[in-house]
C-alpha cells in the first residue's frame, strides 16, 4: 500500500448502507475488489455492479464459480477467493468482524491485515470490531454509521399469527424444512434460503418472496450476512446453533446481525421469537433485547489468525508455519481447519512425501488440501478424495483424468428425487465445479467449468421446483391473503359448467351434486378454510340444483346398495340422502345428506318431496307383489287367518320359512289358500314366498329395505340370477342369503323356488305317490342342472322326508329337520353313487 493510500473502516449495525457505500466507492475508482462472506452475497453484488459497469468489465470469483472477462477491472469475490497478488485501486472487505469466527476467522483476519488497495481500502463491519482495528490498523480512519430505521422487539408470536413479510430463522436444514412445511399448511407456503443453496436456486426462491407469491421466508443465519430482502419482521425459531463442535446459544452480536435484516432503509422493523405448538420455544433475555434494540454489543477482544503466507519449502515447513502462534496480543491461533487436518493426514502417507518435493509441489499439495468439504463428510472421507485428486495431479501430465471427472459428473446428473437428494447432488457438483475452476488441474478447465455450471443450473432449477412443490400451496396463499384483505364473505367464488369451484381464480375443488369436494392435494387444515370460503357462497347455486332435482325424471335417481355402506339415494351419480327405519318395511324415512344443510328451507322441502315421490313410485314398481301383499295384510275385509299369514311375510321381505309360521299355515282354510294364491303367494313344502320377488332387482331392494329396517349397512347380494350359491370354507354371515330367499344345504345354498321344484319332482317321482315306501332313483340331471353338489343333494332329499335305501331313496313319511343326512348307499345308475359303491364293495 502506498503512502497515499487511504484506509477507512466503516462500522455500524445492519441497515446502515455500509455495503452500498463500498460499492459506490469501488465504482468511482479505475479498478476495485470487494471480498464478501458468502458466495450468494458476492453474486448479488456482482449483478448490481454489472448493471453499472457492464458484463465485460466485472468479474466474479468464488470457489465454485469464476466469471473473469479479459478486460475485467472490478472484482466481486468471496473472502477466501480474493486474488491478493493483483493490483487494484480500491479494495474492500465486508463483515470483517467475522475474524472472530472460529471456523473462518483466520481468513478474514488475514484479509484485514494484508488486502490493500492502491488508492483506497475500506473495511466494513460491526462496531464491536473497533478495538481490534485500533490495535491492528492504528492508521485507519474509523467512522460510524447509524441505522436508517428503528429495530424493536415484538415478543413471541405463534406461527398462525406471523405478520406478512416475515423471515423465520432456524439453524439446521431439518428445522428449516419443518417450519416451512407448517407455514405451507397454515399460511400457504414460504420461500427457503440456506447457505448451501446455489445462487440460482436462492435467487429463484427470493424472487418468489419479493414478488409477493409467498409472504414468508424461512432461512438459516445466512440471511444475516447482508442479503437484502423486503423483510419487516424476523422471528427466531431457535436461539441455539451447532458451530461445528458443540451446540451453543447465539452471541448477542449474532442475534443482532440476523434480527437486523428486518426493516430496510427507512422502514422500521421488528424481531422476536416463534412460538411453536407443544414447545416453549426460544426466548430472549431482557439484556439481549436491550442490546439488540440499542445496537450495543461487547467489543471483540481477539481475532483468529493463521499465517496467510506460509513457507512452501517442504511439507514440514508448511505445517509448521500454519501452526505457528501469532505475535500480536489480540490475535489467537485459529482452531485446526479441515484443510490443515487433511494436509497433516496426507503428510503421513509415504507416497505423498515421495511426490511432494520442492516449492512447486508443496504449493500444489496445499492447493489440493484447500478443496472444500461441501458435502460435510468429515476429515477421513474428505482426505481420501483429496488424496485421489493429488495422486492424479502428480502423475503423467499433472491433470485429472477427463474420463474420471466426466464419470463423477454423470453420477450427479439426475434431476429426480426429493429436496434433500437434489441438494446433496448440488453439494457434490460444487466439489467438481471448484476443481474445474483451478487453472491447472484439468487439461481443458474452461470446458469442464461450463459443464459443471450447466449441471448446477439444471439441479438448481429442479431444487427450486421441489422446494416450491413441497413448501408452497399457491391456492392457500392466495386464499389467506384475500381473507386478510377482504374477509371470507368478500371472496369471489365461481363455478364453471364442469362444476369446478374457484376462489379468487384459484381452483379449489369440484361441486358434484350438492357436495363440494376439496382438491385432494389440500391438507386437512387447508380444507377447513376452503370449505368455509366456498360453502358460504354456494347457496344460490345449490338452490338452483334443488329445483333441477325436483324437475328431473325418475331415471336420474338410483338406490345405492354398496356392500358395507348405508343404503342411500343418488341423484345424477352423487349422494343426496340416506334411508333410515320408517313406519313399515316398505316406507323407510328419508334423511337428506349434510351437504344439503346449506339449502334454504323451501328448497329442502322441495328436495324431500321429490325423493319421497320417487321412492314410493319405485317401491311400488319394483316390489309390486310385496306392496299388494302389504295392502291385503292391512285390509280389514280380508279374513283374519289370511292376514295372519301375509303380515309376517311382508315383515320378512317376501320369503319366510314355513316352519316359522306353521300354526298360521295349518289354520288357513281352502278359501284362504286360494286368496293367497291369487296374490301370488306360494305355500311350499319348505317356504312361503312370492316367485316374482326372487328376481335380481326385487331381491336387491328387499335386502336394502331389510338392512334399513334392522339399522344395518347393506349386505352383499347373491350373484344376479344364481339359483345355487357355493360358500367359501370361511362362511360369511348367511342372514342376508336367508332374507334373499336361499336355504343352506351343506356348503351350498339353494334358492327356495328351486327347492320347491325339486321337492315336487321328487314327490311326483315316487313309485307310490299315495304313501308307499318303495325306493326310487331320482333323475341325476336334476342336481347337475342346478349346480348342486352330491352332499347338498343328499341333504335336500333327507330334509324333504326321504331316507337312503339300497336301491336309491325311499319315502319316510314326513319331512326331516335340517340335520345332515347319512350318506346314501350305492344305487345302480345314480351319478352320485360311484364312490359309495366302491366303499360298500371294499367294506
For the stretch 342-398, pLDDT in tens is 999 999 999 999 999 999 999 999 999 999 998 888 899 999 999 999 999 999 999
SS3 content of the chain, % helix, strand, coil (to 5): 45, 20, 35
What domains appear along the chain, each with residue ranges and CATH number? 6-144 (3.40.50.300), 151-294 (3.40.50.300), 336-471 (no CATH), 474-537 (no CATH), 568-742 (no CATH), 765-842 (no CATH)
Per residue in 589-627, pLDDT (tens digit) is: 999 998 888 888 889 999 999 999 999 999 999 999 999
* Cα–Cα dist 349/354, whole Å: 9
Read off φ and ψ for residue 297, nearest 5 degrees: -130, 155
Q: How far is CA 784 from the centre of its chain?
A: 57
Which residues on neighbouring strands pair with residue 743, listed in sequence order? Answer: 750
What distances in angstroms separate CA 734 from CA 99, 489, 620, 727, 749, one per listed residue?
83, 54, 28, 9, 9
Residue 761 has pLDDT above 70, yes or no: yes
More confident residue, 486 or 49: 49
* Cα–Cα dist 333/213, whole Å: 47
Question: What is the chain's mean pLDDT, rounded?
Answer: 85
pLDDT band at 244 (very low <50, low <70, confident <90, very high): confident
What distances in angstroms separate CA 302 from CA 113, 242, 248, 251, 505, one per listed residue?
14, 21, 19, 15, 58
pLDDT of residue 840: 38
Residue of 658, 713, 712 whose CA lies nearest to 681: 658
pLDDT of residue 817: 46
Contact 400, 435 (CB under 8 A): yes
Q: What percent of the chain has pLDDT over 70?
A: 86
Determine the average pLDDT of the residues in 456-481. 78
Contact 399, 368 (CB under 8 A): no
Range with lowest mean pLDDT among 198-212, 329-343, 778-792: 778-792
Residue 229 has pLDDT above 60, yes or no: yes
Show the cell assigned to 132. Answer: 481490534
Is 601 exposed, middle or buried (CB count within 10 Å of its CB: 0-12, 13-18, 19+)?
A: exposed
pLDDT of residue 721: 78
More confident residue, 100 or 717: 100
Q: List, in sequence order, every beta strand (DSSP E) within 65-136.
A: 66-67, 74-78, 90-93, 120-125
* Cα–Cα dist 334/105, whole Å: 7
Residue carrying C-alpha cell 407455514? 183
Q: List, in sequence order, every beta strand (DSSP E) within 626-777.
A: 655-657, 681-683, 687-690, 724-726, 742-745, 748-751, 775-776
pLDDT of residue 220: 86
More confident residue, 261 or 270: 270
Residue 578 has pLDDT above 70, yes or no: yes
Which residues on neighbouring strands pair with residue 333, listed in sequence order? Answer: 305
Which residues on neighbouring strands pair with residue 574, listed in sequence order? Answer: 571
Residue 537 has pLDDT above 80, yes or no: no
Determine the average pLDDT of the residues in 453-481. 79
Question: Most confidently modeled of 242-256, 273-287, 729-743?
Answer: 242-256
Residue of 423, 420, 409 whose CA lies nearest to 454: 409
Residue 841 has pLDDT above 50, yes or no: no
Q: List, in sequence order, every beta strand (DSSP E) within 513-642.
A: 515-518, 557-560, 568-571, 574-584, 587-592
pLDDT of residue 297: 85
Residue 769 has pLDDT above 60, yes or no: no
pLDDT band at 827 (very low <50, low <70, confident <90, very high): very low
pLDDT band at 544 (very low <50, low <70, confident <90, very high): confident
pLDDT of residue 822: 38
Contact 558, 574 (CB under 8 A): no
Encode 270-307: b = buried (16+ Cβ within 10 Å), e = exposed.
bbbbbbbeeeebbebeeebbebbeebebeebebbbbbb
Range with lowest mean pLDDT among 92-106, 183-197, 463-477: 463-477
Contact 75, 59 (CB under 8 A): yes
pLDDT of residue 483: 52
Per residue in 5-29, pLDDT (tens digit) is: 899 999 988 878 899 999 999 999 9
Per residue in 704-737, pLDDT (tens digit) is: 999 999 999 998 888 887 888 887 665 556 788 8
pLDDT of residue 826: 40
pLDDT of residue 732: 56
Range with lowest mean pLDDT among 93-107, 135-149, 736-750: 736-750
Residue 255 has pLDDT above 60, yes or no: yes
pLDDT of residue 821: 37
More confident residue, 302 or 778: 302
Instruction: Please write down the long-range contacts of 417-420, taking CB distance under 8 Å and 24 or more positions apart.
Output: 417/466, 418/466, 418/470, 419/177, 419/463, 419/466, 419/467, 419/470, 420/173
pLDDT band at 521 (very low <50, low <70, confident <90, very high): low
pTM of the model: 0.59
pLDDT of residue 428: 93
Show the cell assigned to 369. Answer: 488440501
The contacts of residue 458 (CB under 8 Å, 6+ apart) are 413, 415
Range with lowest mean pLDDT among 182-186, 251-255, 534-538, 553-557: 534-538
* Cα–Cα dist 408/424, whole Å: 14
pLDDT of residue 790: 81
Residue 34 has pLDDT above 90, yes or no: yes
pLDDT band at 495 (very low <50, low <70, confident <90, very high): confident
Residue 653 backbone class (left: φ over 0; alpha: ψ -120 to 50; beta: rest): left
Q: Where are the alpha helices (DSSP H) in 472-502?
A: 474-486
The contacts of residue 610 (CB under 8 Å, 6+ apart) are 549, 550, 552
Determine the average pLDDT of the residues in 60-84. 93
More confident residue, 24 or 171: 24
Is 715 exposed, middle or buried (CB count within 10 Å of its CB: 0-12, 13-18, 19+)?
A: buried
Range with lowest mean pLDDT among 78-92, 199-213, 658-672: 199-213
Per residue in 150-163, pLDDT (tens digit) is: 889 999 988 878 88
DSSP code per residue over 369-382:
HT---TT---HHHH
pLDDT of residue 835: 35
pLDDT band at 831 (very low <50, low <70, confident <90, very high): very low
pLDDT of residue 720: 80
Q: What percent of the chain has pLDDT over 90?
A: 52
Determine the average pLDDT of the residues in 555-571. 93
Show the cell assigned to 28. Answer: 468511482
> Quick check: helix, strand or coil at residue 136?
helix
Residue 118 has pLDDT above 70, yes or no: yes
Amino acid at each position: 500500500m502506498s503512502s497515499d493510500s487511504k484506509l477507512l473502516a466503516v462500522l455500524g449495525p445492519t441497515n446502515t448502507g455500509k455495503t452500498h457505500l463500498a460499492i459506490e466507492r469501488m465504482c468511482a475508482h479505475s479498478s476495485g475488489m470487494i471480498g464478501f462472506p458468502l458466495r450468494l452475497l458476492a453474486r448479488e453484488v456482482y449483478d448490481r455492479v454489472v448493471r453499472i459497469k457492464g458484463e465485460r468489465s466485472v468479474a466474479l470469483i468464488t470457489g465454485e464459480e469464476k466469471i473473469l472477462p479479459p478486460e475485467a477491472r472490478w472484482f466481486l469475490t468471496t473472502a477466501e477467493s480474493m486474488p491478493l497478488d493483483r493490483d487494484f485501486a480500491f479494495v474492500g472487505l465486508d463483515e470483517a468482524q467475522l475474524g472472530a469466527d472460529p471456523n473462518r476467522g483466520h481468513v478474514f483476519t488475514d484479509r484485514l491485515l494484508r488486502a490493500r488497495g492502491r488508492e483506497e481500502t475500506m473495511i466494513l463491519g460491526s462496531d464491536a470490531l473497533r478495538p481490534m482495528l485500533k490495535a491492528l490498523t492504528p492508521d485507519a480512519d474509523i467512522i460510524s454509521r447509524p441505522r436508517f430505521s428503528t429495530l424493536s422487539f415484538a415478543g413471541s408470536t405463534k406461527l398462525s399469527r406471523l405478520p406478512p413479510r416475515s423471515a423465520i430463522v432456524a439453524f439446521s436444514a431439518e428445522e428449516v424444512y419443518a417450519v416451512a412445511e407448517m407455514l405451507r399448511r397454515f399460511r400457504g407456503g414460504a420461500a427457503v434460503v440456506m447457505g448451501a443453496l446455489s445462487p440460482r436456486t436462492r435467487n429463484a426462491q427470493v424472487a418468489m418472496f419479493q414478488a409477493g407469491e409467498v409472504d414468508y421466508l424461512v432461512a438459516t443465519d445466512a440471511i444475516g450476512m447482508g442479503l437484502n430482502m423486503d423483510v419487516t419482521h424476523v422471528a427466531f425459531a431457535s436461539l441455539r446453533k451447532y458451530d461445528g463442535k458443540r451446540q451453543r446459544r447465539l452471541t448477542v452480536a449474532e442475534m443482532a446481525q440476523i434480527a437486523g435484516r428486518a426493516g430496510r432503509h427507512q422502514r422500521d422493523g421488528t424481531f422476536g421469537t416463534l412460538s411453536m405448538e407443544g414447545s416453549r420455544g426460544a426466548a430472549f433475555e431482557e439484556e439481549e433485547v436491550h442490546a439488540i434494540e440499542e445496537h450495543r454489543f461487547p467489543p471483540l477482544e481477539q481475532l483468529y489468525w493463521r499465517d496467510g503466507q506460509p513457507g512452501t519449502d517442504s511439507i514440514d515447513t508448511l505445517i509448521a508455519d500454519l501452526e505457528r502462534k501469532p505475535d500480536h496480543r489480540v490475535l489467537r491461533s485459529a482452531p485446526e481447519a479441515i484443510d490443515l487436518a487433511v494436509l497433516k493426514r496426507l503428510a503421513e502417507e509415504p507416497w505423498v512425501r515421495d511426490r511432494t518435493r520442492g516449492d512447486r509441489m508443496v504449493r500444489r499439495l496445499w492447493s489440493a488440501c484447500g478443496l472444500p468439504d461441501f458435502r460435510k463428510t468429515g476429515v477421513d472421507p474428505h482426505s481420501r478424495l483429496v488424496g485421489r485428486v493429488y495422486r492424479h495431479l502428480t502423475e503423467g501430465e499433472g491433470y485429472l483424468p477427463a474420463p474420471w471427472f466426466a464419470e463423477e459428473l454423470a453420477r450427479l446428473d439426475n434431476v429426480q428425487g426429493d429436496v434433500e437428494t437434489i441438494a446433496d447432488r448440488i453439494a457434490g457438483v460444487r466439489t467438481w465445479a471448484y476443481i474445474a475452476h483451478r487453472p491447472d488441474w484439468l487439461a481443458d478447465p474452461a470446458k469442464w467449468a461450463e459443464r459443471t455450471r450447466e449441471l448446477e443450473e439444471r439441479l438448481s432449477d429442479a431444487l427450486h421446483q421441489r422446494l416450491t412443490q413441497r413448501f408452497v400451496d399457491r391456492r392457500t396463499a392466495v386464499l389467506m391473503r384475500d381473507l386478510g384483505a377482504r374477509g371470507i364473505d368478500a371472496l369471489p367464488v365461481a363455478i364453471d359448467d364442469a362444476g369446478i369451484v374457484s376462489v379468487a381464480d384459484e381452483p379449489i375443488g369440484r361441486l358434484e351434486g350438492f357436495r363440494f369436494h376439496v382438491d385432494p392435494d389440500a391438507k386437512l387444515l387447508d380444507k377447513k378454510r376452503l370449505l368455509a370460503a366456498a360453502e358460504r357462497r354456494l347457496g344460490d347455486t345449490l338452490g338452483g340444483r334443488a329445483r333441477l332435482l325436483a324437475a328431473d325424471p325418475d331415471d336420474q335417481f338410483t338406490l345405492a346398495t354398496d356392500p358395507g355402506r348405508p343404503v342411500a339415494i343418488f341423484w345424477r351419480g352423487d349422494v343426496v340422502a340416506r334411508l333410515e327405519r320408517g313406519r313399515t318395511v316398505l316406507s323407510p324415512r328419508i334423511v337428506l345428506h349434510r351437504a344439503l344443510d346449506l339449502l334454504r328451507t323451501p328448497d329442502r322441502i322441495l328436495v324431500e318431496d321429490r325423493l319421497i315421490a320417487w321412492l314410493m313410485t319405485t317401491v311400488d314398481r319394483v316390489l309390486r307383489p310385496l306392496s299388494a301383499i302389504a295392502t291385503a295384510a292391512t285390509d280389514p275385509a280380508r279374513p283374519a287367518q289370511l292376514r295372519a299369514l301375509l303380515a309376517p311375510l311382508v315383515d320378512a321381505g317376501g320369503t319366510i320359512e314355513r316352519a316359522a309360521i306353521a300354526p298360521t299355515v295349518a289354520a288357513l282354510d281352502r278359501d284362504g289358500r286360494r286368496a293367497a294364491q291369487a296374490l301370488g303367494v306360494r305355500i311350499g313344502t319348505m317356504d312361503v314366498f312370492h316367485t316374482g320377488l326372487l328376481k335380481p332387482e326385487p331381491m336387491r331392494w328387499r335386502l336394502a329395505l331389510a338392512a334399513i329396517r334392522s339399522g344395518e349397512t347393506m349386505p352383499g347380494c347373491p350373484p344376479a340370477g344364481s339359483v345355487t350359491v357355493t360358500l367359501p370354507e370361511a362362511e360369511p354371515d348367511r342372514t342376508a342369503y336367508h332374507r334373499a330367499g336361499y336355504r343352506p344345504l351343506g356348503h351350498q345354498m339353494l334358492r327356495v323356488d328351486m327347492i320347491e321344484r325339486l321337492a315336487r319332482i321328487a314327490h311326483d317321482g315316487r313309485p307310490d305317490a299315495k304313501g308307499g315306501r318303495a325306493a326310487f332313483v331320482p333323475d341325476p340331471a336334476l342336481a347337475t342342472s342346478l349346480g348342486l353338489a352330491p352332499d347338498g343333494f343328499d341333504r335336500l332329499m333327507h330334509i324333504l322326508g326321504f331316507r337312503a335305501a339300497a336301491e336309491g331313496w325311499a319315502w319316510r313319511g314326513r319331512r326331516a329337520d335340517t340335520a345332515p343326512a347319512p350318506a346314501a348307499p350305492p344305487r345302480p345308475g345314480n351319478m352320485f353313487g360311484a364312490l359309495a359303491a366302491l366303499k360298500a364293495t371294499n367294506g
